[in-house]
Chains A and B, each alone.
Chain A
C-alpha cells in the first residue's frame, strides 16, 4: 500500500467510510440474492459481515474499535460513530406515526422497567452460579447484562475490580451482538411486525446498537418505534443498578 494513498484515505476518512460500507452492503445484498434468494435480508448479512470484520480488525490490531483500528478503515468509525448514528436514528422518525407512539406509551414503559430488571437478574444469577459471591461483582455483571454502558458505570459507582468491569462490558457486548444477529430470526415468533410490538421490544432489549441493528435487518419501518423506547433504557439502567438493585442484591446475598 503506497504511503501516499494511505495518507489520502486518512485525510478523507468519512468518504472512505462511505466507500467501504457501500462495498460491504453491496456484497451482502449480492450474497442475499444469490445464496439465499433474498430469504435472509441483505441488511442482516451486512450487519453480520460488519461484526465479523470488527472481530478480524480486533484480532489484527488488538484495539477496541474493531475494523476502525486499521488505519485504512478508520473512516468506519466516523460513519458509525455516535454522532451520525443518533442523527440517522432520529431521521427515521420522519415517517413515524405519532398516534402509534402514543398508543404504545404504556406498554413501552412497562417493557423498560421489566427489561432492566430481568437482564440484571439473569446476569447476576449467572455471575452467582460461576462463583461470584460478593454483591459488588454480582451487581456489576448483572448491570453489564443490561447494557455495556450501564455495566462499567455501575461498577465504578459500587467499586468493582477492573476484571469484573471488563467482564460486565463483555456481557453487554455479547447482548448487543446477539440482538443484532438474532432479531430477524426471532421476529416472527415474538410477533415483531408492528409499531407497538417494536416499542415493547425496544424497551425490553434496550441496547441501542443492538436494537438499531436488529430492527434495521428485520423491517426498517419499525426502527423509530424500537429506538424511541430503547433510548430511555441505558439511562434507566444507570439509575436503578447502582442504587435500588445494588442494595437489593446486597440484602439478598450478604
Chain B
C-alpha cells in the first residue's frame, strides 16, 4: 500500500534528523549534523533490505516516488521564501563574500574530484596487474 512507502520515508526522515540532532549535541554545536544524510542512508538500507526479501511492492514504492518527484516544486517553494532582499541589501561586503566563496569552491571541484579518484583507480590497476600475473 502507498501509505507504507510514505510511512517508511517519514520514519527514516525523523530517525535521521534525530540522529543528526544527537550528533550535533554530542559535539556541542547548535546545528543538526548530517541528519538528512542519515535519513538517506536509512531509506537506502531499508529499501534494499525489503526489496531483497521481496517485500517492496510497486505500490509501496509509489509512496516514496511521489515525494521524490515533488522535490523540484518544493525547492521552487523554498526559493520563493528566501530572504533575497536581505541578501542583496547586505551591500558589497556580503555580495562579494558570497560570490567569491562560491567561485573559489567551484574552482576546487575538479581538483578534489581528481584527488578522490586517484586512490581507487590505483587499487583497480593493482588488481588488474595481479590478474595479469
- Residues in chain A within 8 A of chain B (CB atoms): 17-18, 20-22, 24-25, 43, 46-55, 57-59, 64-68, 73, 76-77, 79-81, 84-96, 98, 101, 103-104, 106-108, 110-111, 114-115, 118-119, 122-123, 126-127, 130, 141-142, 144-146, 149-150, 153, 166-167, 169-180, 182, 186, 190-192, 196-197, 200-201, 203-205, 208-209, 212-213, 216, 220, 223-224, 227-229, 231-232, 234-236, 238-239
Contacts and interface: CB of A to CB of B under 8 A. Distances in A.
5 contacts: A59-B85, A85-B74, A86-B39, A170-B98, A203-B112
Contacts of B112: 107, 110-111, 114, 200, 203-204
A47 B75 contact: yes
B87 A106 contact: no
A186 B105 CA distance: 12
Interface string B37-66: 101110110011000000000000100110
A34 B65 CA distance: 29
A54 B90 CA distance: 16
- Interface size range on B against A: 35 or more
Contacts of A64: 83, 86
Interface string B11-27: 01100110010011001
B101 A213 contact: no
Contact of B70 (A88, A98, A231): A88
A106 B116 contact: yes
A12 B43 CA distance: 30
Interface of B: 9-10, 12-13, 16-17, 20, 23-24, 27-37, 39-41, 43-44, 47-48, 61, 64-65, 67-68, 70-102, 104-110, 112-113, 115-117, 119-120
Contact of A43 (B72, B83, B98): B72
B58 to A, nearest CB: 13
The majority secondary structure among interface residues of chain A is helix
B116 A95 contact: no
B100 A126 contact: yes
B106 A58 contact: no
A90 B116 contact: no
Give the 8 A-B CB pairs with smallest separation, nearest first: A107-B116, A170-B90, A174-B98, A80-B77, A235-B33, A50-B79, A173-B87, A58-B85
Nearest to A152: B30
Contacts of B81: 54, 57, 65-68, 76-77, 80-81
Contacts of A59: 85
Contacts of B29: 153, 235, 238-239
B110 A191 contact: yes
Contacts of B67: 87-88, 91
A89 B39 CA distance: 9
A19 to B, nearest CB: 11
A113 B105 CA distance: 11
